């Protein structure tokens, strides 16, 4: 999912030398303090204007709204880097930590930077807007009159068990991205030039520098976390591959090779929950189908969101503002093109909270609603911080909060809120854990590799002539997933994933999948829960809520290890909570995989 925060500012290096040369007088500590305050006020005004234009462009995709959004980005461009350039006057001073942190955020919180040439600034803004809009308007057309959008294609991949139909749909969606290939090449060139003007080797290094540690240390930290969870993923992969072979045949799913990407129930094979009926423990059915429960109760899109709001309110959070309900998008309009990818917005950086989502009445979207509201409640919690601190401790925190709450969507919770009449019979836990693992554990390597690809592209390790080959090499290495048909370099499969054309950093989602279990374990301890971690729900527990709110209110005012420690008592990210949560499933998978060929 995507959240619009200050980390998504588009910035350039225009007037870099002029700004520095035009500043007169000696640099002082008091001057740096005054500068930081003035910069925040100016940036806040610019961000709000940019967010309003971006909201309109995402909800009314036309040539005009694209031009409006690009223009707003260009205005933010000039303001942001003019300030970043002037801030370099204070680099050699012994500044108070708070001021030093704010000035650092002028540079390291950016996800996209443009070079100093004014024409190139405009070119980059136009390319970025055009790629996102192309994705939003994307359709697979069998004929001129028979077109399917991503929502329809996603449903087919989730529900069909016809391998030929799945392959057609999988290939069909990837017809939208080849036109982005040259655009992305130019995009990377321009963005890298901007990053170098700010003192970074490339855009990937800039991204990795935003985690309160040296960029190489952060890359090593990501590798450490992956190694903690890799054995669990490989056990799940082994089991799922064996079950898919039973359905589609060993010729389509060889037992010593990566799994064909179109057979895993998801357009990007990033989560596998839709093949639960094929891979789940036969004798451990969860005892309910949340999608069926929601539809049987007549729950509509707005009520889906109300469920999420009531969960947060049960923890002690306030109700969402009335403007949220008036201004959000919950349903796909029939009269215009919109970007349906779910996102959470804080348009005025105070309380103009919104979500934009084409909600389907499914268990998957029920969880997604909680995820997006996690962004909104985080945004409101830190709205009293200075503008440069109105962000999460790190971007993985922002993505992890809503998912932490969603871990409490247990059978006990569903009974309490009236969606389930009674608790399922004992013995269904294994099924629930498998369903959760197919979403959460299966996602981990994908969450890692998207930015691994981009970091290599930005660093020049993967050139334009090898975009697709490099993409599939990483997917096979980390996921054990392969393209079902030959994918040559006329194609651009990375662009068929929203976050590539939208330039949204993706490691945040990997971190979020680690952090949510670490958060959940600590909140369950705060709630006094005793029992298996996967059975804990913090719904209605204000003690857990107080601890959560305390951390959220910190925003990014302190380094993320301090925010993590405030909630969990640990100052390092730790994936052992995932192993704790899935412990019963781990034992079951070991038993199931006896005699199977695992690995790829």
**Residues designated as active site:** 341-342, 371-372, 375, 399, 499, 509
Strand ranges, E, within 101-193: 112-114, 139-143, 146-149
Choose among 178, 46, 285: nearest CA to 500: 178
Quick one: angle between helices 395-406 and 363-381, nearest 10?
130
Residues 6+ apart with CB under 8 A from 540: 314, 315, 416
**d(C-alpha 545, C-alpha 134), whole Å:** 41
**How many residues would you count in the chain?**
600
Give SS3 for 249: coil
Choose among 317, 373, 340: nearest CA to 547: 317
139 burial via Cβ count (<10 Å: 0-12, 13-18, 19+): middle
Nearest 10 degrees: Cα torsion 197, 202, 203, 204: -150
Q: Are 248 and 163 in contact (CB under 8 A)?
A: yes
Choose among 3, 12, 5, 18: nearest CA to 107: 12
Choose among 104, 81, 93: nearest CA to 30: 93
**d(C-alpha 568, C-alpha 526), whole Å:** 9
């Amino acid at each position: 999912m995507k959240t619009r925060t200050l980390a998504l500012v588009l910035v350039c290096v225009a007037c870099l030398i002029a700004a520095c040369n035009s500043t007169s007088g000696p640099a002082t500590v008091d001057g740096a303090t005054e500068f930081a305050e003035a910069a925040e006020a100016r940036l806040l005004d610019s961000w709000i204007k940019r967010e309003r234009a971006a909201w309109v462009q995402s909800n009314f995709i036309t040539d005009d709204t694209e031009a409006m959004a690009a223009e707003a980005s260009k205005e933010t461009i000039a303001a942001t880097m003019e300030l970043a350039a002037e801030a370099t006057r204070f680099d050699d001073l012994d500044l108070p930590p708070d001021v030093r942190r704010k000035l650092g955020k002028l540079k390291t919180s950016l996800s996209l930077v443009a070079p100093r040439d004014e024409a190139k600034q405009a070119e980059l803004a136009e390319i970025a807007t055009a790629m996102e809009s192309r994705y939003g308007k994307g359709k697979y057309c069998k004929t001129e009159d028979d077109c399917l959008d991503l929502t329809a294609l996603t449903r087919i991949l989730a529900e069909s068990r016809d391998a030929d139909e799945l392959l057609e749909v999988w290939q069909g969606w990837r017809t939208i991205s080849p036109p982005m290939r040259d655009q992305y090449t130019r995009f990377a060139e321009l963005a890298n030039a901007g990053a170098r003007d700010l003192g970074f080797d490339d855009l990937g290094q800039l991204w990795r520098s935003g985690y309160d540690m040296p960029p190489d240390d952060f890359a090593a930290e990501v590798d450490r976390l992956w190694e903690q969870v890799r054995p669990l993923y490989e056990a799940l992969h082994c089991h799922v591959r064996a079950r898919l072979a039973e359905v589609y045949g060993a010729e389509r799913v060889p037992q010593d090779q990566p799994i064909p990407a179109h057979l895993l129930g998801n357009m990007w094979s990033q989560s596998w929950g839709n093949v639960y009926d094929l891979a789940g423990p036969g004798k451990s059915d969860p005892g309910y189908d949340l999608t069926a429960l929601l539809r049987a109760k007549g729950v509509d899109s707005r009520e889906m969101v109300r469920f999420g709001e009531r969960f947060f309110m049960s923890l002690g959070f306030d109700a969402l503002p009335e403007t949220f309900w008036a201004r959000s998008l919950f349903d796909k309009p029939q009269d215009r093109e919109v970007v349906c990818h779910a996102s959470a917005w804080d348009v005025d950086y105070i309380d103009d909270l919104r979500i934009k989502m084409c909600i389907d009445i499914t268990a998957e979207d029920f969880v997604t609603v909680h995820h997006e509201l996690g962004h909104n409640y985080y945004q409101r919690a830190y709205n009293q911080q200075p503008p440069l601190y109105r962000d999460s401790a790190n971007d993985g925190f922002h993505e992890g909060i809503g998912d932490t709450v969603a871990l409490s969507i247990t059978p006990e919770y569903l009974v309490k809120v009236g969606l389930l009449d009674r608790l399922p019979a004992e013995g269904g836990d294994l099924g629930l854990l498998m369903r959760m693992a197919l979403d959460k554990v299966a996602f981990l390597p994908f969450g890692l590799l998207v930015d691994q690809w981009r970091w290599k592209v930005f660093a020049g390790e993967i050139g334009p002539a090898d975009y697709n080959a490099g993409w599939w090499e990483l997917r096979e290495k980390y996921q054990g997933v392969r393209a079902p048909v030959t994918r040559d370099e006329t194609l651009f499969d990375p662009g068929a994933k929203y976050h590539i054309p939208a330039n949204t950093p993706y490691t945040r989602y990997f971190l979020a999948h680690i952090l949510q279990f670490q958060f959940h374990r600590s909140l369950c301890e705060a709630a006094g829960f005793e029992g298996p971690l996967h059975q804990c729900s913090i719904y209605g527990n204000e003690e857990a809520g107080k601890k959560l709110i305390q951390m959220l209110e910190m925003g990014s005012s302190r380094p993320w290890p301090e925010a993590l420690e405030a909630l969990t008592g640990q100052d390092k990210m730790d994936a052992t909570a995932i192993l704790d949560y899935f412990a019963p499933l781990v034992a079951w998978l070991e038993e199931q995989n006896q005699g199977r060929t695992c690995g790829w």
